[in-house]
Amino acid sequence: MEFFKIRRDIPFMENALIFNVISFLTFAAAVFFLVTRGLHLSVEFTGGTVMEVGYTQAADVEKVRRTVSELGFTDVQVQNFGTSRDVLIRLPAQKGVSSAQQSDKVFQALQAGDPSVTRRRTEFVGPQVGEELATDGLKALAMVVAGIMIYLAFRFEWKFAVAAIVANLHDVIIILGFFAFFQWEFSLAVLAAVLAVLGYSVNESVVIFDRIRENFRRYRKMNTVQIIDNAITSTISRTIITHGSTQIMVLSMLLFGGPTLHYFAMALTIGILFGIYSSVFVAAAIAMWLGIKRDDLIKSTARKDEDPNDPNAGATV
């Protein structure tokens, strides 16, 4: 389905160098902020206190969040757990204050606002657990990257695999750079969003790469630049429909999902926008600069009855 059809190919690759210089500068800035500021890790990674409280009726999560914040706690996570009457509270660790003291202080404040509240459980998440989560998250990221490279290398060609991974890592680092620069809280939900962006971004690259391979078979007189421009132009309508629909859904979570989904949706929003950009101007351009050509994607076979001295011998059939 196409909302519109562009009659003339847009010369994307003419400006590929300019856009990739911009990408490199953005990537370098993201790395700089990651190194100098670092990520503002959530309780899951740094350790802290986890409380579960219950109410006799549907809990007012915003009121609970305000009550806890007024006690001087920062970066508090408050969300429904299981049912609308159960609330999960995550408190960051504080120096000189035990987990029991934190939970007692919070519970007393909640009781002052609603005497019917009950404390279901209190747990302490140690830094060691958080370190394990961070390590496991990095392993998951590495496995996703390796899997994508293997998949693309088998489906297309190693040059496409390298181009796609560079583009996808470009998206991931820029997301992390935003979180480092603004010191947004980086939680397990955000990590899940980053992993989702990897898969989402590579999907767009695969669509373009598949059209490039198809064009190499269809248009024998076009050079590589013309093939790539035609592939990107012919998939624009699909890109607008797919990414536009996804972005509307993600923006609805960002605007109306509340604090619980805010940073998760923020990571997806940034990732989708840069994923479209990188698939067109980064992945395709890198594949072009690596020297992708028709012979890389289409195996040539010579007919038995052809003269070996014929210049057309060995043409793709």
CATH of the domain at 165: 1.20.1640.10
**Mean local confidence (pLDDT), 186-214:** 85
Q: What is the pLDDT of residue 178?
A: 95
Q: Do residues 207 and 286 both lie within one domain?
A: yes
**Mean local confidence (pLDDT), 217-224:** 86
Average pLDDT of the residues of the chain: 83
Q: Do residues 235 and 168 both lie within one domain?
A: yes
**Mean local confidence (pLDDT), 222-240:** 88
pLDDT band, very low/low/confident/very high, at 302 (cuts 50, 70, 90): very low
CATH of the domain at 104: 3.30.70.3400
| 150-164 pLDDT, tens digit each | 877 787 778 888 888
| 62-101 pLDDT, tens digit each | 899 899 888 888 778 888 877 888 898 888 877 778 788 8
Which range of residues forms the domain containing residue 62?
A: 48-125
Q: Do residues 146 and 292 both lie within one domain?
A: yes
User: Tokens standing for 175?
Assistant: 């997301």
Q: Do residues 202 and 143 both lie within one domain?
A: yes
Any domain includes 29? yes
Q: What is the pLDDT of residue 220?
A: 83
Any domain includes 186? yes
Query: Are the beta carbons of 290 and 165 closer than 8 angstroms?
Result: no
**Mean local confidence (pLDDT), 226-244:** 87
Q: Do residues 52 and 134 both lie within one domain?
A: no
DSSP code string of 233-271: HHTHHHHHHHHHHHHHHHHHHHHHSHHHHHHHHHHHHHH
Q: Do residues 188 and 275 both lie within one domain?
A: yes
Q: Do residues 30 and 66 both lie within one domain?
A: no
- Domain end, chosen from 97, 125, 153, is at 125
Q: Do residues 178 and 206 both lie within one domain?
A: yes
Q: Do residues 280 and 174 both lie within one domain?
A: yes
- Residue 197 confidence (pLDDT) above 50: yes
